Structure 1
Amino acid sequence: MGHGWRTLRRKILTPNVSATYLETRGFRRKDRESQELLEKVGALFLAGYAHAVEASSIADVEARLGTIEHRFRGFAYEGAGMGYGMLDGLPFGHRHHNDDFLAGPAADQIYIVYCGIGWAMARLPRFRWPKAESLDPLLRWLVLDGYGFHQAYFHTRRYVHEHYQAPRFPWPDDESRAYANRAIDQGIGRALWFVGCTDVAEVARLVRTYPAARHGDLWAGVGLASTYACGASRDELVRLTELAGEHRPQLAQGSAFAAEARVKAGLWIPETDSATKILCGQDAETAARISVEMRPEHVRNGALPSYELWRQRIAEELMSLGGVSK
């Protein structure tokens, strides 16, 4: 495929960066620093997306992503996951771009790449969605996490202010489908960190507007985003734990997931460590290790999938260590 065609493909498929501006989205703008942080995250996500859509090879994408600032590189990998997800969903060419990506440079970025695949799902017709059985049986729920983030980010009125939830989400195509909306809510919770522009009082207020049964999963998403994207001061994070109330274990679990995602990918930053010490009661390395140790050996995807049992075990372990309490 010629370079000219790849450039054209990038221009056709890549959203305009203005779509990530908080003013465009109608999101809260807490202060200039927080706004610039979140808009940079959005811009570098799209940069990763564009690299995947335009690049001539996986090695080319790896080289381009390697130039991105350490703190933001994971978001670019997530964007590349979306870009390859879009290519995999097109009616021509092969459908294994993300398989090749994950078998190569993105192996340690699987969590964030799966979220990117979920972004692509949100923009593809259902018959072009990836088959659940083609994905890691434990981590496939992160695809729906990514889907939920996309929907809350781009369809904020419906998913955030009107609390839309599909009566029966059509993926995956087995009995574990009953869990789908919970995974989507975890992604919506991540998006609330952006919608509220890292303002912990506003984020908590948004969570409280949802039906109570959804709060735990939303708080887990908030914990993940506040630890991976960061953007809040120590005092603000302390306040976040207070606002989470009875859902502080879920907040901590999401934070531990974020720690593992950064540590596994070699993208540890001091801000992540600061966040886990407050939200998990542990440093980032310890929180990441707990996430790994609690991972189930045998995976089942029934009405209550192993993924959810993993999340519960992480929360319980963090509570047992005394750093997290209800």
Structure 2
Amino acid sequence: MLAWLFMEPFTKDMWGLIVAITIYNGFIIWLIERSNYPNDYQGSVINQIGVVIWLAFTTTFTLRGDKMHSNLSRMAVVMWMFVALIITQSYTASLTSMLTAHRLEPAITSIEMLRNTNATVGYCEGSFIDYYLKEVLGFRNIKIKSYNSTRLYAQALNSGEIAALFLEVPLDKIFLAQYCNSFIKTGETFKVGGYEFPFSTGFPRLSDANKALMKVWETGTLKKREETFLSSEKCVDERSPPDEKERLSPKSFYVVFMLTLGTSTILTFSLIDVETADTRTLDEALASSKWADLACSKGMHVNTLFKILVVAYP
């Protein structure tokens, strides 16, 4: 469906990995910012989940350097934006190529090329073309195959079972109308006569039949009927699904994904080290403060006792 064409440049694994890394980076930024400024990131669990998602996707497209309080957060955002830029440009190029109609170029341009390459050709089963291919164009019998439907024609050409297909002009137009984006007519058109309408000798309406046929031909009625018939044929390969090899997968971005994941993870460990160091320093300070307070308290008691003693015993 054309409505979902925007999903085609990336594989499902690629889309899933992008979403996962985006949310992961958002969580890391939230964790760093919250550890430095907890008052700015308060609220219920649902509210904090919303903040994480908001940070994840806003930092994909904007630097938000003025809103970040920590240099660790800024480093994570810069690296993720670098990766996001590469992914975005690759996605745009791939989608553009899918939306742009590729002009079909014929692989075979002449009968001589088919004969020289010993190629196999096909034709419509039951048609006089079988005789024409053998007796006039010089193809060997083992290199000629017959098919009885446009679907089988397409399958044979796509699979490489045959290199070219010979059809009568009316059937040729129907086939190309149905497979308008996959195949193209090439080479010359061979004129082998037309259809005849036999009448018995002395047929009294022969003159009227000739006049009627000429009228249909000269007035363009036959051409109009042909156009009406062909326009009703639906192009069954209106948009062929892209080859899986042409779609971008995580393998194409392995290095850049590792860069952003590695950066975010290293920054997380740096934050943990800083928090641990701060906690250790605080514990040491508290311990030192307790001993100092205790010493001061004892000193006050000694001084008080000394004064009391001095007063009591002059």
Shorter chain as normaliser: what TM range? under 0.3
TM superposition score normalised by structure 2: 0.24
More helix per residue: 1 or 2? 1
| Larger RCO, structure (CA 8 Å, separation 6 or more) | 2
TM superposition score normalised by structure 1: 0.23
Larger Cα-atom Rg:
2
